[in-house]
Amino acid sequence: MLKKMKFWKSSRTIMAEKDRVEFILQNQLPNHIAIIMDGNGRWAKKRALPRIAGHHEGMKVVKKITKLANRLGIKTLTLYAFSTENWKRPKQEVDYLMKLPEEFLSSFLPELNEENVQVCMMGYKEQLPLSTRNAVDKAIETTKDNTGLKLNFALNYGSRSEIIDAIKDISNDLKNGEITETDLNEDLFSSYLMTKELPEPDLLIRTSGELRLSNFMLWQLAYTELWFTDVLWPDFSEGHLLEAIEAFQSRSRRYGGIHKEEIRK
């Protein structure tokens, strides 16, 4: 009898999620979702486990969220996997984090390729261990012709460094006469950033209750809708992603202006 009750509850949950997805698909979806995946260490600490256990559990969540984002038709999913500041963490933790891309991609790459997902990366790749670079390069090469979701890993990424490097490149191009001062505008500046081939994020999600951007896409997030949750990343579910998208769909994006209805009032 207990088994039947569990099965019934599970079936009801699946049906409810299906209806929820169908409703979400009737409204405007964010083309680009960016996620600051925070709380792995705290998740592990709450369970008296080493921090790396939280990172391992968080990797499983990446798979679930990637699958759902692809199923919904999201164009780009950017995941903040490792920041330029994360090198300050204990060596054992950093070493494990550097092995995660290889572990994740070796097990998940065939499925990503089968589901038409294109893997890409932004960040300072040359500072990563060779094995990590090789795993990322293999995934990028294997999926380069796929036309579905772009799964973009921000790996060894820092927005301030990105902006400074863009300024240096613009300065050099000005000196060399490749551009002029009159060419300078927001679109040109954006073309010097690591995200030049991606649309700006429509929705940013940050887990674990922290209310800051942590040096993540500072230029690109100027008009992004922000959604914060206390849920730790290893506990983040498909339902939480749907909740974030529903919040996005309930908002009115003005980009600094006002709507015609407000003008009439």
CATH number at residue 107: 3.40.1180.10
- Residue 4: inside a domain, yes or no? no
- Residue 58: inside a domain, yes or no? yes
Is residue 19 within 8 A of residue 240, CB to CB? The reply is no
> Would the annotation count 39 as a binding residue?
yes
**Would you write out the chain's pLDDT as a tens digit for each of its 265 residues?**
444 444 444 555 555 778 899 999 999 999 999 999 999 999 999 999 999 999 999 999 999 999 999 999 999 999 999 999 999 999 999 999 999 999 999 899 999 999 999 999 999 999 999 999 999 999 999 999 999 999 999 999 999 999 999 999 999 999 999 999 999 999 999 999 999 999 999 999 999 999 999 999 999 999 999 999 999 999 999 999 999 999 999 998 776 665 555 545 5
Given the residues 19, 27, 38, 176, select the one marked as catalytic.
38
Question: Can you spell out the DSSP letters for 169-215?
Answer: HHHHHHHTTSS-GGG-SHHHHHTTSTTTTSPPPSEEEE-TT--S--S
Full residue range of the structural domain in which residue 130 is found: 28-158+201-251
**31 in active site:** no
Model-wide pTM > 0.85: yes
Is residue 70 within 8 A of residue 117, CB to CB? The reply is yes
Total domain count, the chain: 1
**86 in active site:** yes
Given the residues 86, 113, 146, 215, select the one marked as catalytic.
86
Cα dihedral across residues 208, 213, 215, 221: positive or negative: positive
